[in-house]
Structure 1
């Protein structure tokens, strides 16, 4: 891969992974709309590692609490803030792991990688986010996160396996529907992304490990580094803007992009 191609993929993944605009949808569109070759699974793994590092660093205070609670959770006790957070994150990840394996084994994951699907999901779920964001309550905080909410948001997150939906977008939508404030919804969505990205990255890593070579490793390291920086900047900007701005700007972008893609798909 050329340096420009690596940089382009890394920036797209880094910027869109945590914004409610669908990183997978943008990466699928890249070769379809530009004529560039598909970046391949090795680069996918690398940019996921980069974005994982960014979200862990940005939310390190919460991550540290969850990690500290893991030993307690492994003994079967959920009686500390850390063990409770770790437990809820694991529970919220189960639906997307199960759904992902089903789609992978049935081949449906590849069948849905089309401009038409991405156009409709980009448009439709963008409007759903706008409606719920405008009408939803904002009385809940992350301290109110319960087992029921974790299961519910886990099911919402599983819907993101449809390209163009956006993992962060659909999870934020679900959290806003449950009554969490904008910043709190984003915080929960970002924390839920950590075990999800780790699980998907591990599965992809196992698939590509046997075919890795020095050139691929070099390209992957470059991609991971740029994805890390891009994701960290995108996270910082979004979390800062949410203190004074709604999700409407992201919805506008989704609606415009979705409409353009549908025009392309049907003409």
Structure 2
């Protein structure tokens, strides 16, 4: 991997991780179009540590409040309020992506990175996001979250194991279909991502050192720089997205996904880029 590729892909990771447009899909597409290779799922997972560090810092007051409430609730039943319940919803909602990620690790690292599948996923789940925006009632605040919501949004998050689906796109779509207000769905989506994405990044660290696989092989220094770049850009994108969804619909992302997906499918079918 060249230094230019490492920096560009770090920027792409930071810009796209929190938007409902699939960061893993974008990393795969950008690496193929501009550098004629695949940076690999391990690179994606490790650079996500940078963006998740941005989430930890940005949402630290909320995270610390949930942690304290969870331990307090374990000790005292009378202390089991909203924050205690939210902490459990995050824990339980993390289970599907954790279990499926381990069971289907090899498929995710190989066949799932085919650009035919990624282009199709961008279009299909872009339409799903648009339908969620159109038909979701968006009346329920975050205080109305239930265990059912946490489980269903966790299952939706697990779909993002396929590049092109988008973790935030899946969870936000599920939240909107469940009647959550857009800011509530987005905020819970951020919280839900923290344990799963952090665990995936740490779990993938040994894979970065494996130079026997196909595609670009980043050096440790390039990996660190790409992750730092993803952190800086990702932190800025969190604030932007939270402000954006308070005032706007998600149709901008829907149209972007559909157009990008069509372009990817056309490029692959025309032989301009390789599908694998």
TM-score (norm: length of structure 1): 0.90
Corresponding position of 2:274: none
- Equivalences for residues 203-214 of structure 1 within 5 A: 203-208=203-208
Do residues 225 (structure 1) and 231 (structure 2) align? no
Moved over 6 A (4+): none
Per the TM alignment, residue 41 of structure 1 is displaced from its structure 2 partner at its CA by 6.0
Show structure 1 runs of 5+ residues with no match.
none
Per the TM alignment, residue 85 of structure 1 is displaced from its structure 2 partner at its CA by 2.2
Once superposed, what is the RMSD of the aligned Cα atoms? Answer: 2.2
TM-score (norm: length of structure 2): 0.87
Q: Cα deviations across residues 239-263 of structure 1 (Å, max 9, x unaligned)?
A: 1111211001111110110111111
CA distance in 2, matches of 1:229, 1:154: 27
Per the TM alignment, residue 45 of structure 1 is displaced from its structure 2 partner at its CA by 4.6
Corresponding position of 1:90: 91
The answer (yes or no) to whether the contact 1:31–1:38 under 8 Å persists in 2 is yes
Per the TM alignment, residue 146 of structure 1 is displaced from its structure 2 partner at its CA by 1.0
Corresponding position of 1:141: 141
Show structure 2 runs of 5+ residues with no match.
212-217, 271-276
Q: Cα deviations across residues 38-94 of structure 1 (Å, max 9, x unaligned)?
A: 435664354212101111122222111122234346659671444322211010000
- Equivalences for residues 100-249 of structure 1 within 5 A: 100-104=101-105, 107=107, 109-208=109-208, 216-249=219-252
1:218 and 1:73, CA in 2 relative to 1: closer, same or farther beyond 3 A? farther
CA distance in 2, matches of 1:76, 1:260: 55
Q: Cα deviations across residues 139-158 of structure 1 (Å, max 9, x unaligned)?
A: 11111111111111111111
Do residues 39 (structure 1) and 39 (structure 2) align? yes
1:128 and 1:43, CA in 2 relative to 1: closer, same or farther beyond 3 A? closer
Do residues 256 (structure 1) and 233 (structure 2) align? no
Q: Cα deviations across residues 90-141 of structure 1 (Å, max 9, x unaligned)?
A: 1000011111112115x35411111110111101110111111012111111
